Amino acid sequence: MTVAHSVELILGGQRSGKSRCAEERARAWLQQPGHEAVLVATAQAHDAEMRERIARHRADRAARAPGLSTEEVPDELPASLRRLGAPHRLVVVDCLTLWLTNLLMPMHGSALDERAWDAQRQSLCEALDASQGPVVLVSNEIGLGLSPMSPEARRFVDALGHLHQAVARCASRVTLMVAGLEVNVKGPA
């Protein structure tokens, strides 16, 4: 990624290579003099398995993209993008799926209603449009399977699909990861 202001959305299923792809973008960015990269992590460790998963991701990132710093941002993603955006800094968001989970299916507190969620999605797109530097967003493509049984799960799948469409519209590049392979969906390959 060499464009001063660009947005890339990297989609894929579980273990498709999404995070690795984003880390490779960061590693390439960091090889250029004067460049910085920060990963905005949206995961929250509510149980032992998730704590282990987060620790594994941290170790993998350190090995694959030395110099990639991390900020934990479970819910204030638009504000973080505005704060962190700079021409010399690549911002990697991993991942939109967990950010949405934190807002619509929180472990503690109330879920956002439709109006509040729409405002958050709009705010994210505005932050991406106004970004002063490149942004790579990672998210799970979960809408390829059967429709979930519960109303809450159907709401989540629908909301994630609408979020992906909104982000893809303002992205200069969309990549789909399948079995560790990049499939160009939009923009330069």
Count the residues in the chain.
189
Rounded to whole angstroms, the maximal C-alpha distance in the chain is 51
Query: By mean pLDDT, which of 31-40, 62-71, 174-183 is the weakest?
Result: 62-71
Number of domains comprising the chain: 1
Residue 144 lies in a domain: yes
DSSP structure class, residue 188: -
Residue 2 lies in a domain: no
Q: What is the CATH number of the domain that holds 55?
A: 3.40.50.300
- Which tokens belong to 12? 């894929």
Residue 1 lies in a domain: no
State pLDDT tens for residues 84-138: 999 999 999 999 999 999 999 998 899 999 999 999 999 999 999 999 999 999 9
- Say what the pLDDT of residue 1 is: 40
State pLDDT tens for residues 49-96: 988 988 888 888 888 888 999 999 999 999 999 999 999 999 999 999
Judge whether 57 counts as a catalytic residue.
yes
Q: Which of 1, 3, 4, 98 is nearest to 53 (CA)?
A: 98
Q: What is the mean pLDDT of residues 169-177?
A: 97
For the chain, what is the mean pLDDT? 92
Q: Which of 57, 108, 162, 164 is catalytic?
A: 57
- Residue 80 sits in which domain range? 7-186
Tell me whether residue 49 is exposed, middle or buried, using C-beta atoms within 10 angstroms of its C-beta: 0 to 12, 13 to 18, 19 or more.
exposed
